Amino acid sequence: MKISIVSSSTRRGRISHRIALALEQAIHEKGHQAEVIDLAELALPPFEERFALLENPSAELQDLNQKLIATEAFIFLSPEYNGAISSGLKNFIDLFAKDPFSAKPIGVATGSTGAMGGVRAAYQLQQNILTINAFPHPRMLMVGKMDQVLDEKGRVVEPSYGRSQDGFLTAFLDFAQRLSS
């Protein structure tokens, strides 16, 4: 399957991007294609109108839209900021919804340097995903103390994280494959 991981922290010194790198590597090891869509590299415009209604979308937006259309399953990854998903991820969802996401499986992954792993953002994100006509998987990856479980290259330094990630991915990939067949 073609899986895109949307990494949505654009903060200097960000930590949650480590989860994107770890997921990408683990998905490859499970025999699927994985690509990180890094919102920090894209610098999307603040939401003005939906992509489908833009008169002259930039080449960058058109390329990204094509990439989203070609994606079979997504993982949306967000840090928790003030009890919510990142504004960058909400901006991305509002800009491209709903066509490239409709009827596709989307996994939820959140991270925090605190103990709770971004649980409030995770449940909000499930609701957002339903609203864009996509299918959120019930099992979510919520990573507490994310600065301590992965190094800067996304290598696992805390074995319990590796087990959580593997449980999440095994369930999500099974769900995604059933949905697409």
Binding site for ligand FMN (CB under 6 A): 9, 11, 14-16, 79-83, 112-114, 116, 118
Which residue shows structure tokens 């833009």? 54
Here the tokens at position 62 are: 């058109």
Whole-number minimum distance, CB 19 to ligand FMN, in Å?
8
State the Cα–Cα distance between residues 150 and 118, nearest whole angstrom. Answer: 16
Residue 118 beta carbon to ligand FMN: minimum distance, rounded to whole angstroms: 6
Q: In angstroms, what is the minimal distance from the CB of 17 to ligand FMN?
A: 6
Place of tokens 């925090």: 112
Q: Which helix (H) or strand (E) holds 77?
A: strand 73-79
Q: Which is nearer to ligand FMN, 34 or 146 (CB)?
A: 146
The residue (of 18 and 104) whose beta carbon lies closer to ligand FMN is: 18
Query: Among residues 83 and 167, whose Cβ is nearest to ligand FMN?
Result: 83
Can you tell me the distance from the alpha carbon of 134 to that of 156, in angstroms, rounded to the nearest whole number? Answer: 30
> Each residue of 49-73: b (16+ CB within 10 Å) or e?
eebeeeeebeeebeebbeebeebbb
Instruction: In angstroms, give the least distance from the CB of 139 to ligand FMN.
Output: 20
Q: Give strand pairing partners of 33.
A: 2
Closer to ligand FMN at the Cβ: 16 or 65? 16
